[in-house]
Amino acid sequence: MSLRRVNVVILVLLAVAFLIIVQRNLLNLNDFLRSENPDAVPGMILPFESEFSPELRPDLVRTGEKIPVVITAAEERLGAVVAAMNSVYQNSKANIVFSIVTMNDTVDHLKVWMTKTQLNNVKHKIIIFEPQLLNGKITKNPQKLDSVKPLTFARFYLPEFIPDAEKAIYLDDDIIVQGDIQELFDTSLKSGHAAAFSDDCDSASAKGIVRGAGNQNNYIGFLDFKKEAIKKLGMRANTCSFNPGVIVANLTEWKRQNITNQLEHWMELNAQEDLYSKTLAESITTPPLLIVFYKHHSSIDPMWHVRHLGATGAGNRYSPQFVKAAKLLHWNGHYKPWSRTSSFTEVWDKWYIQDPMRKFHPVRKHAGDK
């Protein structure tokens, strides 16, 4: 063999060895990045890296601008979260990434539901909410303490969950989305506004509303205007309130204005001075939001938050045609779509995915219904 051929063979062997070394280094780097996860926040579980199921092809992976959607997952309402996410995902081709905020004892159940069903191709990360965040910020009254659900306050901490996002959507779990979530994400926020909500006086959801506890539509229904701390704010008691079950947030502005700190301040003050209205039914998260965002928030298209489906008489308030046309339905109120007495349960059933662990069971009027 000539010297030239020997040199060629040596060069080829060196090239192969170099490629092997590079591959090993890349694999080691990948493992290192997974273990370090520089985007992790305290209490976060690493995003679950689901593989493609046999029914889904890699070419169906969604790309483009990410749409961060934050939603909470309580163990006793896990089926609601699944139905909500399924409706969001199936009605859009956008690159949706869910941040699912839950408690530590719910994680295993949630992971099974996300990996053993058709949701296994949905991009998501699971975040543990630490109840210690609420120390000193909620009432210690034992009569009221049982009604306090830590996860309801998760919406106050949006930038902590997705620190790199500039804009995000927050959704309550008792909703169903029938439109393309991209449209909601594209909601225009005015300059200096950190969030957009749907006003309680809008024509879609105020239609035929029954006044009373749980159906407030102005500030006096949520805040005690006899308290000095509320008086000093100079807010008008008849100002139209808003529902924070759907939020489009400008997180850059949220952080700039220290919205989370402002909300915590009013939570702490209420724990000391009991500032909320005595007629208040369930929402203990709405009052601080009303204070912080008083006349300083943008509006969501009313069809993107059609609510009160969980109130008495919802079946008479809305026609089936109107419900079908709505972009987002919200069963706020006592009657949830996974319970026996709710209106328009057939809409919710369309998106519900059965629990692979058989722990969650929607209640229906007839035993044969699923």
Beta strands in 129-253 (DSSP E): 167-171, 175-177, 195-199, 242-250
Position 36 scores a pLDDT of 40
Position 50 scores a pLDDT of 32
How far apart are alpha carbons 169 and 195 in whole angstroms?
Answer: 10
Question: What six digits make up the tokens of 79?
Answer: 């089926």
pLDDT band of 214, cuts 50, 70, 90:
very low
Question: What six digits make up the tokens of 126?
Answer: 């699971």
Q: Which backbone phi and psi does 197 adopt, to 5 degrees?
A: -130, 170
How far apart are alpha carbons 197 and 207 in whole angstroms?
Answer: 18
For the chain, give the mean pLDDT: 83
CB 309 within 8 A of CB 333: yes
Position 65 scores a pLDDT of 93
User: What's the mean pLDDT in 103-131?
Assistant: 95
CB 197 within 8 A of CB 297: yes
Domains of the chain: 67-197+242-259+301-350 (3.90.550.10)
Question: What six digits make up the tokens of 190?
Answer: 């005015």
Beta strands in 263-312 (DSSP E): 298-299
CA atoms within 13 A on the CB side of 194: 21
Position 18 scores a pLDDT of 60
Closest CA to 86 of 354, 365, 359: 354
Residues above pLDDT 70, as percent of the chain: 75
Position 209 scores a pLDDT of 47
The DSSP annotation for 115-137 comes to HSSGGGGS-EEEEE--GGGGTTT
How far apart are alpha carbons 248 and 181 in whole angstroms?
Answer: 11
**256-301: per-residue pLDDT in tens?**
999 999 999 999 999 999 999 876 545 789 999 999 999 999 999 9
Q: What is the pTM of this model?
A: 0.82
Closest CA to 343 of 320, 366, 359: 320
Q: Which backbone phi and psi does 283 adopt, to 5 degrees?
A: -80, 105
> DSSP state, 70?
E
* Number of alpha helices (DSSP H) and beta strands (DSSP E) in the chain: 14, 9
**H or E, element range at 97:** strand 95-102
Q: Is the pLDDT of residue 314 over 90?
A: no
Q: Is the pLDDT of residue 59 over 50?
A: no
- Residues near 321 by beta carbon (within 8 Å), at least 6 away in sequence: none
**H or E, element range at 101:** strand 95-102
Question: Taking CA 56 as the corner, what is the angle to CA 53 and CA 58, rounded to the nearest 5 degrees?
Answer: 100
**DSSP helix, strand, coil percent of the chain (3-state; round to 5):** 40, 15, 45
Q: Is 226 helix (H, G, I), strand (E, B) or coil?
A: coil
Position 5 scores a pLDDT of 63
